[in-house]
Structure 1
Amino acid sequence: MRQQIDSCLEARGGEVAARNQATEIGRTYLSLSDKGRKRFLLLLADSYGVDHAAVRQAAKPLFDQKSEDALAAAERRLRQLLESPRIRLLRQFNGIAQGVKFLVDLRADILRFKRDAPRLGPLDQELRELLTSWFDAGFLELHAIDWEAPAALLEKLIAYEAVHEIKSWNDLKNRLDSDRRCYGFFHPAMPNEPLIFVEVALVSGIAGNVQELLDETAPAAVPEEADTAIFYSISNAQKGLAGVGFGEFLIKRVVNDLKAKFPRLKTFATLSPMPGFAAWLDDALKSGDIAVMLPAADALALKAKSGAQSSEAALIGLLETPDWWLDTEISGLLQPVLTRLGARYLLEARRDSGTARDPVAHFHLTNGARVERLNFLGDLSKNGFRQSHGMMVNYLYKLGDIEKNHERYTDGHIPASGSVRELI
């Protein structure tokens, strides 16, 4: 493929010929096995990067030129050299049918292979920057998706749903009912491919259990009477756009659309998973930190029920009890404990950067939401118990506080309601 790449970069037959050659490169790549694709990407990474020696040489005149014209010429030359041959090659795909989608999927491959091939890092960074410029929020189109959408698009919603699995066509139809809304961002170069989509329930009051929210047997509410919009699922549909942030723009655009169509809506909140809570709790149990996190009365109650000598052993034993949530006594003991620990996890568990450890919390806090309420047994699915012992959380988007909350989070503070703060 080296010969194909060189021929495309030389563009001897002009721009049209170069794009035709890029098309052939794309076809060849798609025909390769994973092993072949990885070899191609490593070829780009190793042989078509920036010529650092040429950059150093071109930078010298910047310090010597006296005239503005000469300085401008030196700057242009340096900019040209700083754009690697591989990124010039990848730019060709912007003018090819399905070319942008090809690059998005190409980056998804890079992200997979990069785990054991760190040499792909610079290539990934360059392609991410290119895609970020192409997928600026100003280029994206917001579309409402309903049951009348093309079947191919509805199938993609089922395939791409990343939070609460869509189990059947009836499940999907329920999520697109009259008291539900689904919105997606689309790019003109990928008109049939959602980039990210959000599912919304129009309800009265803040919802606390996702199974109740998605109950197919429940009658549809009257959307015009709803006072609350619950964002219960946000799914990034394109793995190759990881790190290309447009989720915050989606939420703001959707809020504005809902406000215009349903004037009675006063509250905009999420019903969100806590995907890192169970892992964090496991770490705390192993380190013996649980006792200092709980009130003495809660710790004594746990030990009395389980017969264990320590709070950690007691909590482990109760959580390992099969179907513990069906035992009213055990669930009654665990409700205040898991709620307190969940609040501590969301407000105090941080990454090295100082941001929230929980990825969903980080997303919503970055967008200006606050931690509003913890929900015990909010997700009764297997995945809900596996990742968070059934806990869920509401993040509130209070429209007048979004900018302030964003600034507070940027400064290292996690905005939360008074009731959540009281838990710790």
Structure 2
Amino acid sequence: MRACLEARGGEVSARSRAAALGHAYLALNETGRKRFLGVLASEFGSDTETVNKAISDLQNATNTENRMAAEKSLREALVSTRTRLLTQFNALPEGVKFLVDMRAELIPWARNDPFLNTVEYDLKALLTSWFDVGFLELKQITWKAPAALLEKFFGYEAVHEITGWDDLKNRLASDRRCFAFFHPRMPEEPLVFVWVALVEGMASNIHELLDKGAPDQDEKHADTAIFYSISNAQAGLSGITFGNFLIKRVVDNLSAELDGLKKFATLSPIPGFMPWLRSNLENNHLEFLTIEQQEKLKRTSSKGSPKASLIHLLYDTKWVNNTETQSMLKPILLRLAVHYLANEKRNEGTALDSVAHFHLNNGARIEQLHWAADLSPKGIKQSAGIMLNYLYLLKDIEVNHESYRSGKAIMTSSDVRDLLKDQKPT
């Protein structure tokens, strides 16, 4: 490691040493890699004496010129030697991908290890500067893309599993689009990608949207672009946000290509809804349901209380195949889902649900909820089968974003607000 920091032999020698170090790391098992990173943490930080001197010089600066020089020296002193070491990998053909993969491994290890956490912090800062959205290239992915690239989408798709090549081909049909961000130093690796369906009207069911047997629609007749899946492909770039820029760039591309498009919306899951509801049912009452809904629950089973009845129903997923029970649960779960989306927040005042936070922060509004929209096991487990449309009204995006970030409001449509009428204060 120390040899990599020495300037002997020029740039070619430095690259060679960095490559050798990278190969040595890859040859290690998990224990060896943790030790490697531990050495980076303990022995390759900032030089304390240099930092203290820079601080002293800044405090004692008597004029603007001296203060600016001291600030520059302090900034340079705070750059750890491990950051300078890791930066050398940028010059290697696979160096950037190596560091992205290294951070993917490091993130879970660093959560409970303060030493490794310092390495993860430095690595994230380095990658954040390299993966500025201005450096990224937006590409449309088609069925004609190299097979090696297409194959990667099977593993990277995080929302709706791709079941085979025929499924992938269907998602790349003439009335569909796929766009991805790429980095010049990782040209064969998508960073984040979005799947789009070009439809007439608002999509309400993911099974219908992904039906391989459905005929392709004429894209020229489409008036709505539905973003039905957004996936981050690189775990090592977690926390480095560029998904919001992806949507904006795709909207611009589609608007230029198809002037018939008037609406841009999503068909999204509510991944945190059922975990929140189960936890809430264990600890609280159902004060956000109407009296009528609570009475219906009491009559449904012999469990007595509305809370006990709902717990019993939800933990036995047979309700999905029972039309009568579905009909009874529909208004109850839709109301609870709207409450969760609009009212349940993190400490900083943002939406508790991760997908809701992403789209609301981008300037969308909660437009419409759809019952039985995803009856896959995953859809039932996460969202009780409910999906929703986040609508991107281009003229309102900035206002909605500012309103959300300032904590003033989560924007919802009148149809969504109607589901919460007569709600008691919580």
In structure 2, the residue matched to 1:129 is 125
TM-score normalized by the length of structure 1: 0.96
Question: Is 1:184 the equivalent of 2:180?
Answer: yes
In the alignment, which of 359, 369, 383 is matched to residue 364 of structure 1?
359
Is 2:326 the counterpart of 1:328? no
Partner of 1:25: 21
Q: Deviations over 1:52-109 (max 9, x none)?
A: 3421222112232345554444333222211100000011111111111111111111
In the TM superposition, residue 310 of structure 1 has moved relative to its aligned partner by 0.9
Counterpart pick for 1:353 among 348, 353, 361: 348
User: What residue is the counterpart of 2:143 in the other structure?
Assistant: 147
* Counterpart for residue 308 of structure 1: 303
* Residue 400 of structure 1: how far off its partner (Å): 0.5
**8 A contact 2:172–2:178 mirrored in 1:** yes
**Partner Cα separation in structure 1 for residue 411 and residue 207 of structure 2:** 27
In structure 1, the gaps of 5 or more residues are: none
- Give the C-alpha shift of residue 14 in structure 1: 2.4
* Residue 117 of structure 1, aligned match among 91, 105, 113: 113
Q: How does 1:368-387 map to 2 (within 5 A)?
A: 368-387=363-382
Change (3 A) 1:287 1:65: closer
- Identify the range of structure 1 (172-181 vs 69-78) with the bigger mean alpha-carbon deviation: 69-78
Deviations 1:32-57 (A, max 9, x none): 11111111111111111122342122
CA distance in 2, matches of 1:241, 1:73: 34
1:261 Cα shift?
1.1
Instruction: Indicate the residue corresponding to 1:391 in structure 2.
Output: 386
CA deviation profile, 1:308-329 (whole Å, cap 9, x unmatched) = 3111111122223443122111
Superposed CA deviations along residues 175-205 of structure 1, whole A, max 9, x for unmatched, are 1111110000001111000000000001111
Q: Runs of 4 or more off by more than 6 Å in structure 1? A: none
User: Aligned residue for 1:277?
Assistant: 273
Q: Whole-Å Cα distance in 2 between the matches of residues 181 and 411 of structure 1? A: 34
- Count of aligned positions: 419
1:344 corresponds in structure 2 to 339
Secondary structure of 1:163's counterpart equals: coil
Shift of 1:116: 3.7
- Deviation, 1:382, is 0.5
* Structure-1 separation of matches of 2:61 and 2:187: 48
Gaps of 5+ in 2: 421-426
The one-letter amino acid paired with 1:92 is Q
Q: How do residues 19-98 of structure 1 correspond to structure 2 at under 5 angstroms?
A: 19-66=15-62, 68-98=64-94
8 Å contact kept, 2:138–2:179: yes
Residue 424 of structure 2 corresponds to which residue in structure 1?
Answer: none
Q: Does 1:6 align with 2:2?
A: yes
Match of 1:254 among 242, 246, 250: 250
Give the TM-score, by structure 2 length.
0.96
User: Helix, strand or coil for the counterpart of 2:395?
Assistant: helix
CA distance in 1, matches of 2:317, 2:70: 71
Partner AA of 2:295 in structure 1: L
CA shift for structure 1 position 304:
1.1
Over the aligned positions, Cα root-mean-square deviation in angstroms equals 1.3
The Cα shift of 1:217 comes to 0.8
Which residue in 2 is equivalent to 1:263? 259
Deviation of 1:120 after TM superposition, in Å, equals 1.6
